[in-house]
Amino acid sequence: MFYSIFKFLENLNHEQKIFYFAIFSFFILLCSLYFGISSLVFFHSIASSFTSFGTFLFGFDPTYSITFTTVYMLIHTPLIPWEPDKKLTKLTTFLHHAMVLIFGITELVIRKNEMTYILIQTNEISNIFLTWYHWTKSILSGVCFAIVFFLSRVVWDTFYVFPNYILKVSLYLKFLAVPFYLVQYLWLYEIIKKFYYIVIKKSKSKKKEKED
């Protein structure tokens, strides 16, 4: 089925690819939403990780990956108020989605910084583990998420994507990059704070209870 779809799309021009793949993406993302918002996030995280890494490593057409995540952002953004997160997290998620949407739609039109988008899109791999944590609330899933988040969104972006791509892209993207990375580092701060509370503070309180 998927092979037939991509064979069909390969014979189309850029605008037609966007149109038909957007319809396809909208359909499968809505199907995943049937099982809940977290299922939508989880499915997108897996699919976008596959398409972005595939595009980066094997030269897939970036149109598919960018279109898929753009459609996801359009579906997920209105659902953010119903996410089981704090107000600050919801706000930063909304800002993140807005910036990714602007970037995605712009690149589908002008196609000047597609690989920059793809490299940033690889960040979505961390959401696989975030969803796992939301589902299980286990320390293992939380630790895995924190590690993958740090590697994919902090180390990868800061030391590879930013100097090699962000600094060389169009001016509008440099302006977008500032709030985008502020959001990323704010999330990192929130993760560290939560990790401290769960692992260190709770272990201290348990130790104190035993002593008492």
| DSSP category for residue 200 | I
Q: Of 208 and 11, which is predicted with more confidence?
A: 11
The percentage of residues in the chain with a pLDDT greater than 90, rounded to a whole number, is 71
Domain with 202, as residue range(s), is: 2-211
How would residue 109 be classed by pLDDT, with cut points 50, 70 and 90?
very high
pLDDT in tens, 27-61: 999 999 999 999 999 999 999 999 999 999 999 99
CA distance 205 to 211: 10
Position 3 pLDDT exceeds 80? no
Q: According to the model, what pLDDT value does residue 209 have?
A: 57
Contacts of 141 (CB under 8 A, 6+ apart): 129, 132, 133, 135
For residues 43 and 125, the answer to whether their CB atoms sit within 8 Å is no
How would residue 202 be classed by pLDDT, with cut points 50, 70 and 90?
low
Where in the chain does DSSP place strands (E)? none
| DSSP category for residue 34 | T
For residues 132 and 191, the answer to whether their CB atoms sit within 8 Å is no
Q: According to the model, what pLDDT value does residue 10 have?
A: 82
CA distance 51 to 57: 10
How would residue 8 be classed by pLDDT, with cut points 50, 70 and 90?
confident
pTM of the model: 0.90
Please tell me the total count of domains within the chain. 1
Average pLDDT over every residue of 4-20: 85
How would residue 204 be classed by pLDDT, with cut points 50, 70 and 90?
low
Average pLDDT over every residue of 82-98: 90
CA distance 10 to 137: 42
Q: According to the model, what pLDDT value does residue 203 have?
A: 62
Chain-wide mean pLDDT for the chain? 90
Contacts of 80 (CB under 8 A, 6+ apart): 90, 93, 94, 97
For residues 98 and 85, the answer to whether their CB atoms sit within 8 Å is no
| DSSP category for residue 111 | -
